[in-house]
Amino acid sequence: VQGWYIVTYALGIYHLNLFIAFLSPKVDPSLMEDSDDGPSLPTRQNEEFRPFIRRLPEFKFWHSATKGILVAMACTFFEAFNVPVFWPILVMYFIMLFCITMKRQIK
């Protein structure tokens, strides 16, 4: 099957956005710490250990990804979304975006 590159590219970007939100913490721990001394033990009752809380919970991640796939499949029913493009440029751009965002996320 040839075509539908824009729909596939948009779906890939949407899934990348969901994946970044899934990997990100709800609260940035580097903003919460006042000192650069490293990790320390809690000194008060309300400073106890808190587990990693995601910005996008797993169920919402899978639910949104499934909705995105269904919307992309629905877009393939309309010829207006079958825009002729040079697909290798989209692939290179997606790989570049993926590498840049993952590098920033890992930092």
Would you say residue 13 lies in a domain? yes
What residue numbers bound the domain in which 63 lies? 5-26+51-106
What is the distance between the alpha carbons of residues 101 and 107, in angstroms, rounded to a whole number?
Answer: 10
Q: Apex CA 61: angle with CA 97 and CA 95, to 5°?
A: 15
The predicted pLDDT at position 42 comes to: 59
Q: Which residues contact 9 (CB under 8 A, 6 or more apart)?
A: 90, 94
10, 91 in Cβ contact below 8 A?
Answer: no
pLDDT by residue (tens digit) across 10-28?
999 999 999 999 999 888 7
pTM for the structure as a whole: 0.79
Q: What pLDDT digit, counting tens, does each position of 67-87 carry?
A: 999 999 999 999 999 999 999
What is the count of structural domains for the chain?
Answer: 1
How many angstroms separate the CA atoms of 14 and 12, rounded? 5
